[in-house]
Amino acid sequence: MTSVTAPARMSMVFPGSWANIPLDDDRSMESTIAQLVKRQVGRDDRFAQLRRDAKQRLMAVARDAQESNAVQLALSLEILPGVPFPAAVVADYRTWPDAAGTEGMSVAQRLATVLPGGEVLELTSGVAIRSFRSTTIRQGTDAVPDIKLEYFLCVPDGQSLLHVVADVPIKIEAELIAALFDAMVDSIRWFPEAEDTAATTSR
């Protein structure tokens, strides 16, 4: 079990073992990813190309997170000891869209305008909405199953949203993976400074 604290004054509990990738410093980001690849792939010279490919993929994920003004990027190592679990979680702050006005609307109704067709969740961490999409992506010449879950939930002051995206490139039962990440989002706890920090970091 890994508890990861984001710079956004909130924490989330991750099952198994995860690596938190720094996004505010390019050198630290690249160094962390390089160490992670060596740990997961090994140092054997026979795996040199595999290490390079893995590092390039992870650097691309990290740069995408930077470009989206993410406050957190976490990469899964193992779900249980010795059981690899490829997954990435990216979190960033968003402002409410104009369509989600407060006039006569509940939080759930406002969230429904942010993510049409999403499922509203009543969580300990607050009211959230989640979408689930299963598709196929290309990795080289291979077609790989990919599951993407997207969440929006209110920060404590209600003025902005925490946006969480989970990407899981494996074939797995939809209900199982949804339950896992719902529980992770439900584990989010806000620090007392969350309101001020969220207001200043929202884009």
CATH number of 179's domain? 2.60.120.1690
Q: Structural domain tally of the chain?
A: 1
Average pLDDT estimate for 9-37: 88
Average pLDDT estimate for 150-178: 88
Indicate yes or no: pTM above 0.85. Answer: no
Report DSSP letters for 100-153, one per residue: S--TT--HHHHHHHHSTTPEEEEETTEEEEEEEEEEEEEETTEEEEEEEEEEEE
Predicted confidence at residue 201, as pLDDT, reads: 42
Cα distances (angstroms) measured from residue 153 to each of 13, 51, 76, 188:
16, 36, 22, 10
Q: How far apart are CA 159 and CA 96, in angstroms?
A: 7
Tens digit of each residue's pLDDT (9 = 90 or more) over 84-143: 688 889 999 998 887 666 677 888 999 999 999 999 999 988 899 999 998 876 665 667
Q: Is 87 helix (H, G, I), strand (E, B) or coil?
A: coil
Residue range of the domain that includes 119: 2-201
